[in-house]
Amino acid sequence: MVRRRLSVIVMLLAALAARPPLASATDGGKSVKNTVKEAAKTGGRTAKEGALTFGRSAKAFFTGGPKAAKDVWKAGAAKTKRTAKAGARSTKKAAKGG
């Protein structure tokens, strides 16, 4: 759980540290604002998926044993990864002003 949180925090910081193109005078800083919004959404969604994965895995452990918990954990981890990658694409698109 701590490792998952750390991963989410690192990804969020990486997204924020990625320097978006400087806002031009015509867009009024919208690309920076949109990039930050998308990065925050990505962090939130990824954290939610990580928490759900933990909960489902704990439930599977008590109802089906360690093997069931491991299977549920791996499936949840794959979903969390897909969610994070989709969010990264959205953040990059927002950084480009799209």
- Tell me what pLDDT residue 57 has: 95
- Tell me what pLDDT residue 25 has: 45
The model's pLDDT over 24-71, given as tens digits with 9 standing for 90+, comes to: 445 556 778 888 888 888 888 888 998 999 999 999 999 999 999 999
Q: Please enumerate in sequence order all residues whose Cβ is within 8 A of that of 35, keeping only pairs 6 or more positions apart, or say none.
A: 20, 91, 94, 95
- Tell me what pLDDT residue 73 has: 95
- Side-chain-side CA neighbours of 67 within 13 Å: the count stands at 0
CA–CA gap between residue 48 and residue 52 (Å, rounded): 6
Instruction: Break the chain into its structural domains and give their ranges.
Output: 2-95
Length of the chain: 98
- Tell me what pLDDT residue 23 has: 47
Tell me which residue of 96, 91, 94 sits closest to 13, measured CA to CA.
91
